[in-house]
Structure 1
């Protein structure tokens, strides 16, 4: 192989991986239906930019505004079909893959492991799921990688341009998801502990602190406005024990969530084995390797542990919140394959185990992706398109003003798919409000509504005890559901 071709192959490989990432993220992009959170984001982004800010604060929306701003701008240009809505997160997902290579190379990874980390993120079912979801998680993934990469560039190059770029990335990441702060905390812990134990790094500490103060100053106006949101969010996840959290987190990073729950322990074990091998290789390597190990451990562990700890007082733990910790996971796995030749039997054994575990991991990823793309049990689709068609059919034959569609849970997804003229109500009007449901039904009957269509869905937190159906049955002989 000539020197020119030897130098070109990493670029070709990187381009191929980016194209693979793009292909996997746009494959079937508009095939699956929107889920409830996606539909909520779509309607939330219908507002003007100033109104998005006002609504976020007034309605206590637990996510900041950056992704809604992107969606608002994109809607005007691309329309609101599922494929169009999901393209921005897919694009950010591809960007994250490219940025991970930049981060790996800046950390001094060899080309082989750097490309492997990039490949693992490219084919990650966990990352692909979020890249095909109209929410902020794929955008948060890309921006937090950018913040860490640019932060390392700032530390190593000590140039104003890099510091300003880091500030911008960190500020945008914080405006995309509040949990991005845990990545910045991890990065700052790395810098501060290095300053304590490696005296030669202290010379740059003051400049680094200046950049952090700039990020804080720029973010402070929003933080002051959103303080009540951060303190008042009750969560919609759960509060797992530590062992369950570790199992769920590692399994999600390894193969996503499109696998049977019974297999989580297996995939978590495979992931833990590869992390252990990668960590030991870095620990036994050069000083730069040990530096990278400390950074990646903080980058992986601080956000996960912070989210888990927060969930002990309120149910907010969910695998999707861990997305910013996926990059160090893949970098640590890739570190198990440093590309050096080995000859001693123990080293050959470790290499063989590493390769077998990697092959199993990739097989699990492919298995999970096949489920996600083709298995209805793991699809986001819940039959909303068919329901919208059925509502149109059931609403015929009666004047529109004499028909209502009643939802027993305020799920916005229905109103993305049903664009017909029939008005809708929510029964009960508040969670488990039996008296309110009875009053609302009485008002419908008094207004001359002859037909009520009730597409009931499981909603124990809103309609526990079939409140909607019972209230309607008291006034109507034929409730269509």
Structure 2
């Protein structure tokens, strides 16, 4: 029987390991991971400095060692997190066995398959490390408490394991102090109930020793953290507690990568956990039920209490709440007899099905990608030419650029302070782009936080032709060709949707060549204020009406939406249309127009008082 159990445990561990390393490098490195890599790439003395990050230093130290040993590949960078996430599984098994053998096995399987645990075991951040540390702390705390209740001495090794696992947790993430708080409350309540307050004394000694190990860091880090705090005390309300609690419980149930409608099915798993809590409470396991519930509730209350001084809340901060929750779920599924076994099977399949679906979405659904900065830089690498410059708007992308950016292409970060005024922006951008023919602009994150007036993009749109624009997750890539614009060469008087007049255009060169660009400047005029922001399309059609080249973008590189146009103002709008290298020589038609995104509804065209469809047939273009 013992051998069978060992093989079963090994099977669960192999499954957990396989899920945690499967496509470990499938997701691109995203912003927070890149910052972890940046810190871990510094000299060791700076890695552990209290002046570089808002988190304790254990994870950066481990990542620093991993980089020294295995390098900076995505797989190698994330592998320490996968190992930490794997370590939590056998610890959950041991803790579950203290409730019952069947609960131990069920909890092990649930932990191995948990989409929430797998997700953060595949991220180069610290969250899997406190997961392992707190689970070890909960297990060793319970084992020591059991020995005390049975009037048996607690071995020094067990005290040492408790202190070690607890310090791993608190040196990884500050929220894990809530586990120690829950343990202290549970110890005081049960010791008072048993009239054995003397049990508290050795714990005070252990906690005192742990405090001495942690206090020097805490005092040094306190000054750094004080400058990062915010204040939103209006969020101390029941609605916010419900939001934090529901988000955390659903994440523990079914992860974070299910569509919103399906994710609500996670409440069924929460119901199973509540059933397990009640079943343990009346089934002779009341103390363990209270212990697990207290550990879970303390984490939720702490997250709610500190939320006003934190920038935001994310479920990952409470990843360490998952083991108590999964143990309660296992308790709700186990111990049933006769027809109750069907409930165990169906409930387990319910959990497994939802989490398997969440993992499928995580790995293969583009909606749940963490980042696309690597793809953005790959596009630049494949399209770069001599005389290109990369302009990086928002210094927060520095860590990502350090990891993915091409070192052999000239690049320049735009300082935030130069974008405060038009004069400073003009001076900086003129100097930065002098001597270059093309500029790749990378707008990273929310422009309202670093360039709310879109001065960088606006300057390029006024001094260059937009040749490419594509949105990536968390960033926008645009390519501008620095050519001197000319005045209107072909006047027109075309009305679009009774809102916009096309005054004319300039096109260079008159004869195009495959693999080169057509430089088009459109001149718009608003007829009246507009509520909608329209998108411009420029399409090159062949003789059979097939689209052969195109560029779609909001006007002026996205910096001057039509909803901001003032009637009477003339808006020059420049585009560089890339001609495919395999374009067959011949006559092509160049069409332009406006449409409303995402409905794709085009504005109707009126010329000389006659309706002209939903696009402007601008001119024919000869390709040689």
Question: Which bin holds the TM-score, normalised by the shorter protein?
Answer: 0.7 to 0.9
The question of 1:233 aligning with 2:233 is answered no
Structure 1 residues 32 and 441, CA, compared in 2 at 3 Å: closer, same or farther? same
Higher helix share: 1
State the match for 2:38 in structure 1: 43
2:180 counterpart of 1:224: no
How many equivalent pairs are there? Answer: 456
TM-score, normalised via structure 2 length: 0.68
Q: 1:362 aligns with which of 349, 352, 356?
A: 352
Aligned to 2:283: 285
Distance 1:437 1:111, change over 3 A: farther
Q: Secondary structure at the match of 1:454?
A: strand
User: Which residue does the alignment assign to 2:133?
Assistant: 143
Verify: 1:12 aligned to 2:18, yes or no: no
- Whole-Å Cα distance in 2 between the matches of residues 235 and 87 of structure 1? 34
Q: Deviations over 1:393-440 (max 9, x none)?
A: 444222xxx734323452232331223223433335259745664453
Aligned residue for 2:337, secondary structure, equals coil
Change (3 A) 1:473 1:92: same
Match status 1:21 vs 2:19: no
Match of 1:441 in 2: 429
Is residue 428–residue 437 contact of structure 1 (8 Å, CA) maintained in 2?
A: no
Q: Which one of 435, 443, 452 corresponds to residue 464 of structure 1?
A: 452
Task: Indicate the residue corresponding to 1:96 in structure 2.
Answer: 88
Change in Cα spacing, 1:467 to 1:197, as seen in structure 2 (3 Å) is: farther
Q: What do residues 274-298 of structure 1 show as CA deviations (whole Å, max 9, x unaligned)?
A: 1111011111011xx1110111011
1:117 shift after superposition? 0.6
Q: CA deviation at 1:471?
A: 3.7
- What are the residue-to-residue correspondences of 1:287-366 with 2, within 5 Å? 289-339=285-335, 341=337, 355-366=345-356
2-side partners of 1:385 and 1:272: how far apart?
Answer: 38
Match of 1:118 in 2: 108
Which of 1 and 2 has higher RCO (CA within 8 Å, sep 6+)? 1
SS at match of 1:406: strand
Shift of 1:21: 0.2
Deviation of the 1:338 alpha carbon? 3.8
* 1:254 equivalenced with 2:253 (yes/no): yes
Q: Structure 1, residues 258-308: CA drift from partner, whole Å, max 9, x if none?
A: 1012333331x212211111011111011xx11101110111111122112
What's the counterpart of residue 425 of structure 1?
Answer: 412
1:402-421 superposed matches below 5 A: 403-408=389-394, 410-411=396-397, 412-421=399-408
Q: Is 1:70 the counterpart of 2:62 in the alignment?
A: yes
SS in 2 for 1:279: helix
Q: Using a 3 Å threshold, how does the CA distance of structure 1 residues 220 and 417 change in structure 2: closer, same or farther?
A: same
Over 3 Å counting, the alpha-carbon distance change for 1:371 and 1:210 in structure 2 is same
Give the one of 167, 179, 185 matched to 2:181.
185
**CA contact under 8 A between 1:121 and 1:327: conserved in structure 2?**
yes
Conservation of the 8 A alpha-carbon contact between 2:416 and 2:450 = no
**Residue number in structure 2 paired with 1:345:** none
- Conserved in 1, the CA contact under 8 Å of 2:333 and 2:348? no
Residue 454 of structure 1: CA displacement? Answer: 0.2
CA shift for structure 1 position 339: 2.9
Map 1:444-455 onto structure 2 (within 5 A).
Answer: 444-445=432-433, 448-455=435-442
Q: Is the partner of 2:129 in helix, strand or coil? A: helix
- Give the Cα–Cα distance (whole angstroms) in 1 for the partners of residues 77 and 38 of structure 2: 11
The SS at the match of 2:407 is coil
> 1:40/1:313 Cα in 2 relative to 1: closer, same or farther (>3 Å)?
closer
Q: 1:430 to 1:206 in 2, by over 3 A?
A: farther
Partners in 1 of 2:418 and 2:264 — Cα distance? 37
Shift of 1:313: 4.7
Q: Distance in 2 between matches of 1:278 and 1:295?
A: 13
1:432 & 1:424 partners in 2: Cα distance? Answer: 18
Shift of 1:118: 1.1
Correspondence for 2:200 among 201, 205, 222: 205
Give how far 1:97 is off: 0.6
In structure 2, distance between residues paired with 1:43 and 1:51: 11
Distance 1:359 1:406 in 2: 48
3-state SS of the aligned residue for 1:405?
Answer: strand
Rg comparison, structure with higher value? 2
- Listed one character per residue, the Cα deviations across residues 139-166 of structure 1 (whole Å, up to 9, x for unaligned) are 1111111122222233325222221222
- Residue 81 of structure 1 aligns with which residue? 73
Q: CA separation of 1:440/1:431 partners in 2, compared to 1, >3 Å: closer, same or farther?
A: closer
Distance 1:338 1:199 in 2: 33
Contact 1:410 1:426 in 2 (8 A): no
Q: Secondary structure at the match of 1:62?
A: coil
Distance 1:437 1:196 in 2: 68
Who is 2:171 aligned against?
175
Q: SS at the partner of 2:449?
A: coil
CA RMSD after TM alignment? 2.6
Aligned counterparts of 1:451 and 1:143: Cα–Cα separation in 2: 51
SS at match of 1:241: helix
